Chain A
Amino acid sequence: MSQRTLPRLMQTPAVLLLLVWMLVPLGMTIFFSFIRYVLNNLRKPEWTTPNIDNWRGFGNYEYVLYKSKDFWFAVQNSVFIVGSIIVLTVALGLAIAVLINRSFPGRGMVRVLLISPFFVMPAVNAVLWINMLLDPVLGLNGLIVNGLNGVIDGLRDFPLLGNFFSFWPELQPISFRATQTSAYAVIVMVTWQWTPFAILIFMTSLQSEDQQQKEAAILDGASAWSQFVNLTIPHLARPIAIVIMIQAIFHLSLYAEIEIVSRGNGNKNLPYLIGEFASNNIGAASATGIFAVILANIVAIFLLRIIGKSLMD
C-alpha cells in the first residue's frame, strides 16, 4: 500500500457521503426540470407523478424564461440586493472597525453592543424592522413623520417665520412595503444584521496591523487618510475578500426577509420565485433552481477572479 492509499481510503466515506448529499438533490432537480411535474392538475392527472414519460425537453426553461412574469426581475433583484448589501456592510464595517480600534472607556461594552445584531434571527430581524421601525402608521417611521408635521404646524403660528413654514408641504411617511421601496427595506435590515459580521472580522485583523509602519508613516508626515488608504486598506484586503465571499453566498438565498416585508412584491429574488413556482409547478420550480445554480456560479467565478487574488497572495 503506497503512502497515499490509506489516507484516501479513510477519506472515502466522508467524500462519498458529501457527494450523495449534493448529487442526489441536484440530479433530481435536473430531472424534474426536464419533465412535466405538477402537484395537482385536474385536466392532466398523469403530470402529477414524476415520470420519464412526461419528458418535455427544455419546455420548463422556456416557460420560465419567456412566459412567466418575473424571471428577469428576480435575477436583477438578486444581484441588486446582494451587491448593495455587500457595498454597505463593507463600507460601514470598515468605518466602524477603524473607529473602535483605538482605546476609549467602555470599549468592550461598545464592541459587544455593535456585534449583537448578528445574533438576532433573520425572521425576528425582519419583523422588528418592518413592524416597529418602518411601519408608516404605528412604527417609528410614522411617529417621527407625525411629530415633524406637528412641529411644522406649530411653527406656522409664529409671526414672520410662519409665512415661510406655510409653504412647507405636509410630510408623508414612506411605506416600505410598497413595490418601489420593499427592496430597500430588505437591504436596510440585512445590512443592519450583517455589518457586525464585517466589524468583527475587520476588528480582529486591525489588531495585527504593523504599528511600526504606522509610526514611520506619521514621522514622514502622512495624513490620517493616506495612512488609511495606503496602510490599513491593503492590510485588510484579505478580510474584505472573505467578508464579500461569505456574504455573497449567504445573501443570494435570502428568503425570510422578503417573505415578511412584502411577499415578493417589488423585492422578489430567485429563491423566492422558486418558492412561488413550488406551490404547484415543480417542473418550473426546478428549472428556476437550475438558473439559480448558474447565477450563483457566475457570481462565484466573478468574485474569485476579482478578489481571489488577494486570497492567493
Chain B
Amino acid sequence: MKTIRTSALAATAAFGLAISANATELTIAIVNNGHMINMQKVAEAYTAETGVSLNWVALEEGVLREQVTSDTATGGGQYDIINIGMQEAPIWGAAGWIEPLNFGSSYDMDDILPAIRAGLSHEGTMYAAPFYGESSMVMYRKDLTDAAGVTIRDSDSWANIKGAAAAMHNPDNGVYGACLRGKPGWGDNMAFITTVVNSFGGAWFAADMRPTIDTAAWEEAINFYVDLLGNYGPPGSEGNSFNEILALYNEGKCGMWIDATIAASFLTVDGVAYAQSPNAGNPVGANWLWAWAMAVPAGSPNADAAKAFIEWATSKDYVQAVGNHPDFGWGSVPTGQRASTYALPEFQAVAGFAAAEMAAIESAAPAATDLKPYVGVQFAAIPEFPEVGIAVAQEMAAALSGAKSVKDALAASQSAADAIMSEAGYY
C-alpha cells in the first residue's frame, strides 16, 4: 500500500513538473451562444497540442458585458481573454484597456472582411480579433410571397416591404406579415430601428455629438416602423427580440423577418429565401454590422499565451477544425469573419445563406461619414451609447405599444440623450 502511494506521488510530482515547465492557464470569458460554446470542445485539441489549459467562463450577453466592463475598467484582472463586441472594441482600444493585436503573416490579416476589421480597430490598429461576424438581411417565406403574388427584391424600397407584409398578413391563420424586434435594449430593438433610421437618412448624433433624435428623418423612420410592426406584426412585438422571433418564425408564424444574418443557420422551416435589407436610398445603408471578437485586457500576466490562443481561435485552421470535428461539421463553422470561409466548397454546400450573408457584411459601412459622424452602424462607438440606447429603446417600445405618440417618444428620447451627453462632458 505504502509503495503504491509513494510511486503515485512520485508520478504526480513528475507529471506536475513536466506540465509546470510550460504550464499556463488562461481564463476566458465568453458569451453563451452556439459558436462560442462549441469552441470549448474544439479547443480541447489546442490544449492537447500546446499544454495550455483553458478555463472557460460562459456568461449571458448582458451579464458578460457588465462583468467584463467593470473588471477591465478597474483593472481587476480576472480574465486573460475576453469576448467583446464591435461597440466596445474601438473604445476600449482607445482607452488603452485592451492590447493591440499583431499576428504573423500566416494569420493572413487581409483575409478578414474589411468592414469587420475596420469595426474592431482604432486608428488602424486591430484591438480585437473577430470570432464570427454578422450583418442583417431579409429572411422571407418564398411560399407565402408566391401565394400572395408579391416579390421581395434585394435592397427593396420600404414601401414594397410594407406591401409584401400586408399581402402575407393573415392573423386568422396565425401568420403575421413582418416579425421585427421590439424588445427594448440598445442591442435589441435599437439595432433594427437604427438601421431603419440610417436608411431614412437619420443619425444618432451630429458632428458636435449633440443628439439628433428629434429630426424629421427619425420621425419618418419611427412612424414607418410603428406602422409596419403595429399593423402587420405579431401581437406583443414589444417583447420580441432575436430569440423570441426565432421561435415564432420556426413555428411558421412570420412572413418575413429582418434580423441578424446568423439567424439563417437556425431556421428550420421550409421555403426560406434571403434578400438584402431594404433601403430608403441612403448611402449609410440599412445593414447592420456586428462581430463577437476576442481581446486581451491590458496588463494580463499571460498576454503572450492569450494572444497565441486568439491567433489560433480566429484563424483559418480553426474553421477547418470545426468543419472536420466529429461533433460539429461544416454547418456549424463560425461565419462572417473571413473571406476564405465563404470560398470553402464544403461550407458552400451546406449554407444556402452564404452569398447573401457575405454581401450584407461587405456592404455595411461602420466608418464615420458626414451623414453619420461616429463609428458604428446600428450603434455609436462611444462609452455613453449603451445608456443613451437603453433610454431611447424604452421610448420606442412605448411608441410601438401605443402608450405614447411617436412625436412624444422622440421628444423624450432627445431630452434623455441630451442629458446623458451633456452629463458626460461632451458640451
Contacts and interface: CB of A to CB of B under 8 A. Distances in A.
B383 interface: yes
A179 B247 contact: no
Contacts of A42: 91, 94-95, 382-383
Given A130-B239, A138-B251, A179-B238, A279 B390 contact: yes
Contacts of B403: 178-180, 266
A265 B237 CA distance: 13
Nearest to A145: B235
Nearest to B381: A42
Contact of A43 (B238, B394, B420, B426): B426
B398 A63 contact: no
Nearest to B388: A280
B45 interface: no
B397 interface: yes
Chain A interface mostly: loop
A135 B97 CA distance: 42
A290 to B, nearest CB: 17
Nearest to B95: A40
A278 B94 CA distance: 21
B382 A177 contact: no
Contacts of A263: 183-185, 390, 393-394
Contacts of B239: 130, 135, 175-178, 261-262
Contacts of B185: 263
A68 B387 CA distance: 11
B401 A41 contact: no
A142 interface: yes
Contact of B401 (A44, A48, A69, A178): A178
Interface range for A: 35 or more
A44 B384 CA distance: 12
B235 A142 contact: yes
Contact of B416 (A44, A68, A178, A265): A68
Contacts of A138: 247-248, 251
A41 B238 contact: no
Contact of A175 (B236, B384, B387, B412): B236
A63 B391 contact: no
B70 interface: yes
A248 B5 CA distance: 59
B407 interface: no
Contacts of B69: 39-40, 279
A136 interface: yes
A175 B238 contact: yes
Chain B interface mostly: helix
Given A136-B236, A137-B248, A281 B425 contact: no
Nearest to A259: B62
Contacts of B420: 68
Contact of A69 (B66, B382, B415): B415
A41 B412 contact: no
Contacts of B425: 41, 43-44, 47
Contact of A45 (B70, B95, B402, B424): B95
B184 A264 contact: yes
Given A179-B404, A280-B383, A281-B387, A38 B424 contact: yes
Contacts of A208: none
A281 B397 CA distance: 23
A63 B65 CA distance: 25
A53 to B, nearest CB: 15
Interface in A251-279: 261-266, 268, 276-279
Nearest to A264: B394
A175 B423 contact: no
B183 A63 contact: no
B235 A43 contact: no
B234 interface: yes
Interface string A28-68: 00000000001111111101100000000000000100011
A262 B396 CA distance: 13
Interface in B7-46: none
B346 to A, nearest CB: 36
A223 interface: no
Given A39-B70, A179-B401, A279 B238 contact: no
A122 to B, nearest CB: 16
A172 B236 CA distance: 11
Interface in B35-89: 65-66, 69-70, 73
A280 to B, nearest CB: 5
A117 interface: no
Contacts of B66: 278-279
A173 interface: yes
Given A130-B239, A177-B183, A265-B184, A276 B390 contact: yes
Contacts of B383: 38-42, 280
Interface in B192-229: none
A277 B387 CA distance: 7
Contacts of B424: 38, 41, 43-44, 281
27 contacts: A39-B70, A40-B95, A43-B425, A44-B424, A48-B73, A68-B420, A69-B391, A69-B415, A135-B239, A136-B236, A137-B234, A138-B247, A172-B235, A176-B239, A177-B183, A177-B236, A178-B238, A178-B397, A178-B401, A261-B239, A262-B397, A265-B393, A266-B394, A266-B398, A279-B386, A279-B387, A280-B386
